[in-house]
Amino acid sequence: MSNYKAVIGLEMHCEMTSKAKVFSQAINSYSEIPNVNVRPLDMAFPGTLPTLNKECVRKALLMSLVLNCQVPEYLYFDRKNYYYPDLPKGYQITQMHAPVGINGKITIEVNGQDKEVLIHDIHLEEDSASLDHYSDASLIDYNRSGVPLLELVTEPCFNSAEEAVAFLEYMRRTYQYCDVSEADTKKGQIRCDVNVSIMDEDAQELGTKVEVKNVNSFQNVYETINYEIKRQSELKDAGRYAEVEQETRRFDEETGTTIRMRSKVDAIDYKYFVEPNIPKLKISKDWLAEIKKSIPVLPRERKAKYINELGLSEYDANTIIKEKDYADYFEECINLGINPKIACNYLTVNIVAYLSKEDITLKEFYLTPALLKQIIMELDKGTISSKQAKEIFNKSLEERKEPKTYITKDNAQISDSKALESIIDNILDNNEQQIVAYHNGKTNLFDYFVGQVMKETKGKANPTMVKEILKSKLD
Amino acid sequence: MHMAKNIIELHQQLINGEVTSEELVKESLQKSHALQEKCHAFVTILDDAKGGKVTDSYLSGIPYGIKDNYSTKGILSTGSSNTLKDYVPFFSATAVLNLEKNGAIPVNKTALDEFGMGGTGTTCHTGPVKNPWNLKHICGGSSAGSAAAVAAGVYPFALGSDTGDSIRKPAAFCGIVGYKPTYGMISRYGLFPFASSLDHCGCLTRCVADAALVVDAMKGLDTHDLTSWDSQHMHLYDSLNGHVKGKKLFYIKEIVDLQNYHNPSWELKKHLENFQRTLEILKELGVEVTPVSIDKNLLKAIPSVYVCLSCAEATSNMSNLTGIVFGPRGEGAGVTEMMMDHRTKGFSPLIKRRFVIGSYILQKENQEKYFVNAQRVRRLIVDEMKKLFQTYDGLILPVSKGPAPVLANLEDTVSDDELSVLEEHLQIGNFGGFPSITIPNGFIDDLPVGINITGNCYDDANVLNIAYALEQQMPYQNQIAKEWQNE
């Protein structure tokens, strides 16, 4: 197979988090029980009209700003008309004429290299109902009908599956950081359409574009792109490039291939026109400025700060920014005055292990940064050993009690040199024979003396100090 | 014979205990049945309707009719279409709820041209509605049943909806008052949509004061309708004072001058002469009336702009009628076949033709030429009107080319003759969302005719007041169709 240049574009649909749906006042929340989050509009009962959820508009505008898009002066919507049982109104309210953002540009990192991604547009729309197919019937669940969606369309600016997936990962994180979406592919909150074409390395014109619809995981996006590149390249090698048609295909998970759905010739005419029931909304400069101010620090900037200012390794920084929860937890630790490296170690080793063992999220984790600080500060002071710290960490989680409950005088390490000296003097006074033997060359008796001190203090003596004092007294 | 009275009179009688709400409802139901036999004005008569409490509200305890394209909780609401022939909604339109709050009592649901798409009142799934003044004639539409019932004295008012002239034309053909206020003054939530950017709620009554009272009760900001606006500072009934001296009206020469018509019918001549007589009355009241000339091409475009925009919006608005969630389930092997079967059986041929036109206009390759151009011309017409409303309080024109046509003579075609502008000019009021009222101004051949006054947006009180003053000078207010006066 020859090596052709691949050209890839992405359409990424992402379900937004919000209290209510975007055009109806029903609750926007995932539910296993069908048809509970439904208002009359979501089933298109005659006479119902759309409302507009301003929170969704705000989040859409925020994403538009994050992607450095141009924002229109007025916000309005369009109807996309087609018949399908999951679309009760017979049209979807979306944005075709004036999306919340157009002509954006962002820089992402792919394998340590910067990559510029061009955004064609990002627009706000509503999701359809969901269908469950059975052998003799199909059932409609309207919970999803009207759920706010953001659709992001890139220019065909990627040249490999790695680049495309890196962008999707980047966006998933960004949606989470901006609190726009949970962006959970397992809950079907992200769905992608992928456009792939190939061309000779030195060619001027793009090849024939094939669209693969509804690819539901990033792994499948990766496989889809590589499969299409291979399929198209092989046809081109065989002199049969004409067989690559401008068409819509779907990804088949079982075989890892793509299957033809329809030709471009059969494409649906959606008869877009402006939604008359939602008056144009002026997007004021003040509002935009306010939204801009609310954009949180994004992962790329956080990573740079962790490496350059806090001295973390690139590996550790990457681990922490992967999830917004981790980054927020880490930064709270830093704000509380915890040493960055210690905080990082606790987070990436002990906490991560505990979360995965218990199968919970960091939000559900009992030891908040403030509670963790109770342990780390004692460790710093030397009042507890690292072994004890670990025990307190586990005990505190197990019994859901503050760590300081376990840091009592009773179990505190004896690090007071005067106290230790008097204990040691006492032991030495009672072991004169052993001292003589030690001085005659039986040096392994040193450990015997340490053992005696530990026995006397029930293991609470600071071992390093004990050794130091013993050495100075014996030698 | 209480139901021949206007709202204020009935309210006084109720307050004074001369009659009870229960008696009014009973009488109204009796009249409903009598009218139904001859005119087929209703889809549903609410026989178990009860009288209500009488309060300070003028409408309390008074029976009225609801056009069957308003969603009414627990009451069959069909839009006069087979696609919804058994549909009982679980929520009521905001306008209906507002009337309920005022204590008004619905006694029937009135027939209309299927989903308001038609101007004849003949495409209702329950059969054509006949004119109570003469059963051979139509009522006009689409608010045909409401117009017939108010004209026959079933009750003092009924609800209508108006996308092109659906309140104001049947009002003229039935010799009553039809008023649609400024777009968004009354919430459209719960009104079955025809063309959302043109749809208005409104009412049919027998006098201007009643129209003001009813809309005062129906209107108001509604969080369910983003196009509704706050009008709580507007009190239409209280604004009626009859002082119109110095007011300025204009009429469009191209529409009203007889010499613009080549072979004018006898009826048309009478109608235009009658219009001029009405203008004389206005002048006597001190109203300035000025002929204004408007580009004929712009005027001629009105009916086609209306067809383009209303059909395009309608085909999208009625895409929810698939028989899946509500309405009779269609038959067929798959979902697509079931939807097609439901729609093929459910809609009348007239509606289907409009859907085809609407789809054609919205097609990618046609949109710019038809749909977008129609929107541009709509804007031109509205701008022209708004410019004139800077100078004038309103536009006055005769409604239609004469009285109601004979049912048997109806032609099911889009007319493109020189009379089409005279027939369709009320659509200007929908293009601009302007307040617009029709009142009766005479008879031709024992059939009523009307005139229309249209003003600028939010200037409802002014428009109503001119109509109110004019009405006082003519003998047609509170009139009831002859045959029904002693029923």
> Is the pLDDT score of A416 beyond 90?
no
Measured from the Cβ of residue A45, the count of other Cβ atoms closer than 10 Å reads 20
Weakest mean pLDDT among A50-59, A401-410, A465-474, B188-197: A401-410
> Is the pLDDT score of B358 beyond 90?
yes
> Is the pLDDT score of A475 beyond 90?
no
Average pLDDT over residues B106-123: 96
Residue A401's pLDDT is 87
Inter-chain contact A46–B364, Cβ cutoff 8 Å?
no
Average pLDDT over residues A425-442: 86
Inter-chain contact B324–A140, Cβ cutoff 8 Å?
yes
Per residue in B226-277, pLDDT (tens digit) is 999 999 999 999 999 999 999 999 999 999 999 999 989 999 999 999 999 9
Inter-chain contact B188–A79, Cβ cutoff 8 Å?
no
Residue A460's pLDDT is 76
Best to test chain B binding among A23, A275, A277, A280 (most B CBs inside 10 Å): A277
Residue A410's pLDDT is 54
> Is the pLDDT score of A210 beyond 90?
yes
Per residue in A47-70, pLDDT (tens digit) is 999 999 999 999 999 999 999 999
Distance of CA B94 to the CA centre of its chain: 18
Weakest mean pLDDT among A365-379, A406-420, B205-219: A406-420
Q: List chain A residues with CB under 8 Å of B197.
A: 276
Q: Which domains does chain A have, with CATH numbers?
A: 5-287 (no CATH), 295-403 (no CATH), 417-474 (1.10.10.410)
Q: List chain A residues with CB under 8 Å of B320.
A: 44-46, 88-90
Determine the Cα–Cα distance for residues A215 and A310; give it in Å rounded to an integer: 39
- Cis amide prior to A135 (ω within 30 degrees): no
Residue A184's pLDDT is 87
Determine the Cα–Cα distance for residues A147 and A125; give it in Å rounded to an integer: 8
User: Per-residue confidence at B94, pLDDT binned at 50, 70, 90?
Assistant: very high
Weakest mean pLDDT among A402-411, B144-153, B396-405: A402-411
Closest Cα in chain B, distance from residue A273 (Å): 8
Closest C-alpha among B170, B83, B58 to residue B352 = B83
> Is the pLDDT score of B90 beyond 90?
yes
Out of A47, A88, A269, name the one closest to residue B192 (CB): A47
Residue B421's pLDDT is 94
Closest residue in chain B to residue A80, using alpha carbons only: B316
Q: Model-level pTM greater than 0.95? A: no
> Is the pLDDT score of A414 beyond 80?
no
Q: Please determine, for the modelled complex, whether the ipTM score is greater than 0.90.
A: yes
Closest Cα in chain A, distance from residue B224 (Å): 6
By a Cβ cutoff of 8 Å, what residues of chain B touch chain A? Answer: 70-71, 77, 79, 84, 87, 89-91, 93, 188-193, 196-197, 223-227, 312-313, 315-316, 318-322, 324-326, 335-336, 339, 359, 362-364, 367, 371
Cβ(A338)–Cβ(A344) under 8 Å?
no
Residue A411's pLDDT is 61
Give the 3-state secondary structure of residue B438. strand
Average pLDDT over residues A32-36: 94
User: Per-residue confidence at A404, pLDDT binned at 50, 70, 90?
Assistant: confident
Inter-chain contact A273–B319, Cβ cutoff 8 Å?
no
Cβ(B77)–Cβ(B125) under 8 Å?
no
Inter-chain contact A46–B84, Cβ cutoff 8 Å?
yes
Q: List chain B residues with CB under 8 Å of A138.
A: 335
Residue A190's pLDDT is 95
Per residue in B273-304, pLDDT (tens digit) is 999 999 999 999 999 999 999 999 999 999 99
Determine the Cα–Cα distance for residues A240 and A208; give it in Å rounded to an integer: 13
Closest residue in chain A to residue B372, using alpha carbons only: A273
User: Per-residue confidence at B413, pLDDT binned at 50, 70, 90?
Assistant: low
At residue A195, what are phi and psi to the nearest 5 degrees?
-105, 130
Residue A409's pLDDT is 55
> Is the pLDDT score of A2 beyond 80?
no
Residue A122's pLDDT is 98
Out of B196, B326, B371, name the one closest to residue A45 (CB): B326
Per residue in A304-323, pLDDT (tens digit) is 999 999 999 999 999 999 88
Residue B412's pLDDT is 57
Residue A442's pLDDT is 85
Per residue in B156-180, pLDDT (tens digit) is 999 999 999 999 999 999 999 999 9
Residue B12's pLDDT is 97
Closest C-alpha among B67, B58, B66, B57 to residue B6 = B58
Q: Which domains does chain B have, with CATH numbers?
A: 2-244+434-442+454-484 (3.90.1300.10)
Q: List chain B residues with CB under 8 Å of A137.
A: none
- Terminal Cα distance for chain A, rounded: 77
- Terminal Cα distance for chain B, rounded: 8
Out of A40, A81, A278, name the one closest to residue B226 (CB): A278
Closest C-alpha among A261, A202, A250, A199 to residue A227 = A250
Per residue in A108-124, pLDDT (tens digit) is 999 889 999 999 999 99
Residue B416's pLDDT is 59
Tokens representing B159 are 């609800």
Cβ(B460)–Cβ(B436) under 8 Å?
no
Out of A43, A49, A81, name the one closest to residue B316 (CB): A81
Inter-chain contact B89–A271, Cβ cutoff 8 Å?
no
Give the 3-state secondary structure of residue B424. helix
Out of B192, B324, B367, name the one closest to residue A46 (CB): B192
> Is the pLDDT score of B435 beyond 80?
yes
Residue type, B319: S
Closest C-alpha among B482, B475, B484, B470 to residue B208 = B470
Residue B415's pLDDT is 58
Average pLDDT over residues B365-380: 97
Exposure string of A105-132, with b = 16+ CB inside 10 Å and e = fewer, is ebebebeeeebebebbbbbbbbbbbbee
Q: Which of B5, B67, B130, B169 is catalytic?
A: B67
Question: Between A and B, how many CB-CB pairs are < 8 A?
Answer: 95
Residue A150's pLDDT is 98
By a Cβ cutoff of 8 Å, what residues of chain A touch chain B? Answer: 40, 43-52, 79, 81, 83, 85, 88-91, 138, 140, 269, 271, 273, 276-279
Q: According to the 3-state scheme, what is the secondary structure of A210-261?
A: EEEEEECCHHHHHHHHHHHHHHHHHHHHCCCHHHCCCEEEEEECCCCEEEEE
Closest residue in chain B to residue A79, using alpha carbons only: B316
Average pLDDT over residues A176-202: 92
> Is the pLDDT score of A399 beyond 90?
no
